[in-house]
């Protein structure tokens, strides 16, 4: 006599998702650790210019939504590396420097540029002049929305008040934030620092088989 209780398809799917999340918890740190080792991103052999986020922070913690209000899924980030920036309502000089920096970094990657995309995260409605700037100069940048509290909580161990800090983040195709760079108010310094981000990205793209 078979005493097994039938399992619904929904429960099977839920169990599979839980198993995948459990596997990711164990596997991702090893993958990132191996990548960091190959790139010499540990004390004694540090070659990265940005701050290494170790362990990496999950973009999923942002609970991001598309501009139509639908939840952003893993399918959105996969197949690309990302330059992620949390956009302030008013785009001052540091913000403008960051946007131009993101665009120039991608251009400087040459044939590898298709592997990297710029992503703006909005925490509130933008001022009209900021919206106009994006529409005119950065219309090709991807956009999502997220609550400042969720961003701050996700990155609390990395950066205080991350949603308003003005940092740039490098995110891998699995949705892990791996590196971060502080804001630059001075335009010339921003141009110089862009080279640091570019060099880090080149190393990541060379070492990575994903994205």
- pLDDT tens digit string along 69-124? 999 998 999 989 999 999 999 999 999 999 999 999 999 999 999 999 999 999 99
More confident residue, 29 or 64: 64
Mean of the per-residue pLDDT values of the chain? 85
Res 30: pLDDT: 45
Phi-psi region of 170 (alpha: psi -120 to 50; beta: other; left: phi over 0): beta
pLDDT in tens, 30-67: 455 455 544 455 444 557 899 999 999 999 999 999 98
Domain ranges of the chain: 50-207
DSSP-based three-state secondary structure for 71 = strand
| pLDDT-derived band at 25, boundaries 50, 70, 90 | very low
Rounded to two decimals, what is the model's pTM?
Answer: 0.79
Question: Which run of H or E residues covers position 130?
Answer: helix 128-137
CATH class of the 50-207 domain in this structure: alpha beta
Question: Closest by alpha carbon to 72, among 85, 58, 93?
Answer: 58
pLDDT at 208: 84
| Euclidean distance between CA atoms 211 and 113, whole angstroms | 11
């Amino acid at each position: 006599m078979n005493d097994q209780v039938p399992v619904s398809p929904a429960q099977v799917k839920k169990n599979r998702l839980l198993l995948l999340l459990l596997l990711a918890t164990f596997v991702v740190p090893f993958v990132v650790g191996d990548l960091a080792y190959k790139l010499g991103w540990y004390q004694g052999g540090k070659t990265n210019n940005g701050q290494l986020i170790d362990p990496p922070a999950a973009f999923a913690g942002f609970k991001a939504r598309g501009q139509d209000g639908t939840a952003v899924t893993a399918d959105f980030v996969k197949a690309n590396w990302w330059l992620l920036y949390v956009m302030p309502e008013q785009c001052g000089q540091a913000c403008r420097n960051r946007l131009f920096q993101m665009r120039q970094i991608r251009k400087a990657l040459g044939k590898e540029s298709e592997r990297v995309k710029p992503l703006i995260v909005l925490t509130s409605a933008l001022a009209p002049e900021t919206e106009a700037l994006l529409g005119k100069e950065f219309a090709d940048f991807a956009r999502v929305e997220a609550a400042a509290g969720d961003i701050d909580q996700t990155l609390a161990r990395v950066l205080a008040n991350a949603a308003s800090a003005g940092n740039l983040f490098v995110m891998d195709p699995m949705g892990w934030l791996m590196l971060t760079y502080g804001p630059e108010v001075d335009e010339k310094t921003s141009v110089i620092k862009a080279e640091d981000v570019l060099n880090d990205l080149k190393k990541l793209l060379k070492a990575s088989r994903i994205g």
